[in-house]
Amino acid sequence: MSDLDASTPRIFLARHGETEWTKNGRYTGTTDLELTHHGIKQVKGTAIQLVGPGKLIDPGRIAHIWVSPRKRALQTFSLLFNNSSSSIGDGTTIAKTKVTITEDIAEWDYGDYEGLLVGEIRAGRKKRGLDSETAWNIWRDGCEGGESAEQVTERLDRLISEIREIQEPYMNGGNAVDVVLVAHGLILRAFAKRWLNYPIDSPLPLMFSPGAIGILSYKNHDIDEPGFYLGMALPLQD
C-alpha cells in the first residue's frame, strides 16, 4: 500500500515562513510579525509542491485545521490553502467550519525573554544569580513572565485529545480525517514530543525549517501507537 493510499489518519505540521526575527534567532512569541518577502516565497513553494487535490496535503482529505492566531501563522494558512494550487482548477478549498484559530497552538509565551537571543537570556539569568550549575533550557525551565513547560504541556495535551477523538473512529479508513496544524517552530516541536508521549523536556533534538511540513500519524492503525514519519514518498503527479 502506498503512502497516499494509507488509511491511517495523519497530522500535518506546517511551520510559518520566515519573519525578520526568524532570520536572527530572536525568540518570537506574542510579537505579531508578518512574513518577509522570502517567507512568503517559502510558503508558496510548499503550497505549490505539497498542497492540493491528489497531493500530499489534499484538502478533500482534511477533517480539521488548527491555526495559531498570530499574523505570521494566519498569513501562512492563507497562502497554503487560499492562494495555492488547492484552490485552483477544481475549486477545492477548506470550509470555514473546518478551521479553528486557537491559542492552544500559539507559540510558547516567552514572557520577559520576548525578542531576545539565547545568549542574551542566559547572560541575564546568570547576572540575576540563576542557573549556577546548568545553563538555562526552555524545555525544562520555561520563561520568566511567560509560560512554564507544564503550562505548554497542558494546552498541547488538550489539543492532542481533541485530535484523537476525531481520528480514533477511522483508524482503518472509512473517512479521510487528516488534520493540519499551522503554527510555529518551537510549539510544533513541543507538540511532536507530546504526540509521542515524551515529556516536553526530553532530549529529543528536532529541527523545523520555516515554511516546512512535518508529518505525524499512528503505527499499525492503532490509536495507542502514535508515531512520526521519518520520510514519506510523495504522490505521483499526472
Under 8 Å between Cβ of 188 and 15: yes
| Residue 29 among known ligand-binding residues | yes
How far does Cα 168 stand from its chain's mean position?
21
Give the CA distances from residue 128 to residues 111, 123, 144, 173, 235, in Å, rounded to whole numbers and listed in that order.
16, 9, 12, 55, 54
Name the band, by pLDDT with cuts 50, 70 and 90, for residue 85. very low
Surface-to-core class of residue 200, CB atoms within 10 Å of its CB (0-12 exposed, 13-18 middle, 19+ buried): buried
- Mind telling me the catalytic residues? 16, 107
pLDDT-based confidence at 82, cuts 50/70/90?
A: confident
- pTM of this prediction exceeds 0.85: yes
Beta-ladder partners of 168: none
Amino acid letter, residue 102: T
Determine the residue type at 57.
Answer: I
> Is 108 labelled as part of a ligand binding site?
yes
Q: Is 170 annotated for ligand binding?
A: no
On whether 28 is known to bind a ligand per the annotation, the reply is yes
Q: Is 66 a known ligand-binding residue?
A: no
Q: Which domains does the chain have, with CATH numbers?
A: 11-228 (3.40.50.1240)
Going by C-beta distance under 8 Å and a sequence separation of 6 or more, which residues neighbour residue 113? 27, 121, 143, 144, 145, 146
Query: Residue 64's pLDDT is what?
Result: 97
Average pLDDT over residues 109-123: 95
